[in-house]
């Protein structure tokens, strides 16, 4: 009888999570995340990565990448792994619980509908995005029916949103993935 | 160095997942799910459960329940666990992949924003709900900014929606939870 769910991390991601890293600048945090996304593609993953940092100090809490195909779990998006690993690190489901320092999620792309919800419930106080949702859809992924005013919905709940950080680099990564003919899964729109 | 994510299942849930169960009728599937939700509350979980069934035969694939507080992971909603355990069972991230029989998710309550997205990407072909979103919000939980026409968005993607199955029983369960003064976590609206 199985009594647990498991998700194995690829080596590069386990190593990233073991790092003692402090990145005070938003661009450096995003550069780190985009490099993880490239490593993830090389490790049979999707072109998405994300990481949770302490917002003010820039200390890395946890990093994730899209492992849907490799894990066999459709919820294994980058943001879900990063948030869950950060919560394991923090020892609590609420990353915003005092006295824990305020955290932010840095994602290589705007979250899909599922991950948007996950951001809401995670306790992070900020969301930093590279590529826009339209960039993600342009290569064939479905973002789901997100409300047009989703940044306002996050702000109403005390979560700041910073779009377009290194957007060009983030978009280039998606285009490279598409150009390589790699799998765009679960694009069921109209199917 | 941690190389995997784990989520331990409580005994009642591990046992439910080991069962060889066939429930042809929608009401019986929901009754099974509501019973799991009650067992979950008794096992320090939230008042939510869900299960994936083969839509036509009624064979149980997997069952989940809300384990946020116990696991320390905010994404450990009932639907996420049920879908992920079903995908482990099916050996694939797409439960709709032929020749796998069409599946449906039966949930004690309308999914929140995150779980709505998870339903979209899971490959299930149907969603059956007990309590409505408004019933969930009435006891203090936040469902997130779901689009008003979310059932249409699911249908557009080939996922049928059946609301209000044993709604009264499902709502009673939520009210009992509230009356017992048990924790309503992550209700950050306006916080």
Task: Spot the catalytic one: A79, A104, A110, A143.
Answer: A79
Q: What is the pTM of this model?
A: 0.96
Closest chain A residue to B150, measured at CA: A145
A102 contacts on B by Cβ (under 8 Å): none
Beta bridge pairs of residue A104: A53, A126
Quick check: A10 and A146 in contact, CB under 8 A?
no
| Residue with tokens 């666990």, as numbered in its chain | B81
pLDDT of B175 strictly over 50: yes
The yes-or-no verdict on residue B36 having pLDDT over 70 is yes
Among B83, B113, B119, the residue to mutate for chain A (most A Cβ within 10 A): B113
In the residue annotation, A153 being an active-site residue is answered as no
| Closest in B73, B93, B147 to A68, CB measured | B93
- Are B189 and A69 in contact (CB < 8 Å)? no
Q: Is residue A143 a contact partner of residue B136, using CB atoms and an 8 Å limit?
A: no
Q: What would the DSSP string read from start to end of A65-80? A: E--HHHHT-TT--HHH
Minimum-distance CB partner of B7 among A4, A69, A113:
A4
- To the nearest whole angstrom, how far is the Cα of B101 from the nearest Cα of chain A? 16
As a whole number of angstroms, the distance between CA B119 and CA B111 comes to 9
Contacts of B186 in chain A (CB under 8 A): 93-94, 120-121, 123
Instruction: In whole angstroms, give the CA distance from residue B19 to residue B2.
Output: 32
Q: Please tell me the predicted confidence (pLDDT) of residue B190.
A: 40
Predicted local confidence at residue B186, as pLDDT: 59
pLDDT given at position B98: 87
Collapse the DSSP code of A126 into the 3-class scheme (helix H, G, I; strand E, B; otherwise coil) and give the result: strand
Is-contact B6 A5, C-beta < 8 A?
yes
pLDDT in tens, A83-126: 999 999 999 999 999 889 999 999 999 999 999 999 999 999 99
- In angstroms, the separation between the Cα of residue A99 and the nearest Cα of chain B is 16
Residue with token string 């990093």: A63
* The pLDDT of residue A188: 58
Chain A hits for B88, Cβ within 8 Å: 2, 5, 72-73
CA atoms of B161 and B180, how far apart (whole Å) = 31
pLDDT of residue A190: 40
Distance CA A147, CA A168 (A): 24
Using CA atoms, how far residue A87 sits from A74, A123, A173, B88, B105, in Å, is 20, 9, 28, 23, 27
A65: number of Cβ within 10 Å: 32
Nearest to B94 among A4, A93, A186 (CB): A186
Contacts of B111 (CB under 8 A, 6+ apart): B77, B79, B118, B119, B127, B129
Is residue B116 within 8 A of residue B150, CB to CB? The reply is yes
Q: What is the pLDDT of residue A3?
A: 87
How many angstroms from the chain centroid is the CA of residue B46? 11
For an interface test with B, the pick among A86, A120, A161, A184 (most B C-beta atoms closer than 10 Å) comes out as: A120
- At A39 the pLDDT is 98
pLDDT of residue B187: 53
pLDDT tens digit string along A113-172? Answer: 999 999 999 999 999 999 999 999 999 998 999 998 999 999 999 999 999 999 999 999
Among B76, B80, B120, select the one facing A144 at the smallest CB separation: B120
Mutation pick from A111, A121, A155 vs chain B, by most beta carbons of B within 10 Å, is A121
Q: What is the DSSP letter of B128?
A: E
Q: B74 falls in which pLDDT band (50, 70, 90)?
A: very high
Predicted pLDDT at A184: 84
The shortest CB-CB distance from B74 to any of A1, A75, A87 is to A87
d(CA A49, CA A16): 12
Min Cα separation B45/chain A (Å): 13
Catalytic residue set of B: 79
Give the pLDDT confidence of B75-115 residue by residue, as tens digits.
Answer: 999 999 999 999 999 999 999 998 899 999 999 999 999 99
CA B185 – CA B163 distance, rounded (Å): 25
Which pLDDT belongs to residue A186?
60
**Quick check: A2 pLDDT over 90?**
no
Percent of chain B at pLDDT above 90? 90
Which tokens sit at A42? Answer: 């090389």
Predicted-assembly ipTM surpassing the 0.85 threshold: yes
pLDDT at B134 over 60: yes
Measure the CA–CA gap between B154 and B157, rounded to whole angstroms: 5
Q: Is the pLDDT of residue B191 over 50?
A: no
User: Are B2 and A15 within 8 A, CB to CB?
Assistant: no
- Which residues contact residue A32 at a Cβ distance below 8 angstroms, ignoring those fewer than 6 apart? A21, A23, A51, A60, A63, A106
């Amino acid at each position: 009888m199985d009594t647990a769910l498991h998700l194995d991390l690829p080596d590069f991601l386990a190593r990233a999570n073991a790092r003692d890293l402090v990145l005070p600048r938003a661009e450096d945090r995003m550069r780190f995340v985009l490099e993880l996304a490239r490593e993830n593609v090389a490790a049979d993953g999707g072109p998405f990565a994300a990481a949770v940092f302490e917002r003010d100090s820039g200390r890395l809490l946890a990093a994730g990448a899209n492992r849907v195909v490799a894990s066999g779990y459709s919820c294994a998006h980058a943001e879900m792994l990063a948030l869950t690993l950060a919560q394991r690190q923090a020892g609590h489901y609420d990353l915003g619980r005092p006295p824990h320092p305020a955290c932010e999620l840095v994602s290589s792309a705007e979250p899909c509908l599922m991950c948007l919800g996950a951001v809401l419930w995670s306790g992070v106080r900020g969301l930093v995005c590279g590529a826009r949702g339209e960039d993600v859809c342009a290569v064939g992924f479905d973002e789901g029916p997100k409300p047009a005013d989703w940044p306002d919905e996050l702000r109403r709940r005390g979560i700041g949103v910073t779009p377009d950080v290194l957007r060009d680099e983030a978009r280039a990564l998606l285009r490279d993935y598409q150009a390589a003919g790699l799998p765009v899964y679960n694009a069921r729109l109209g199917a």
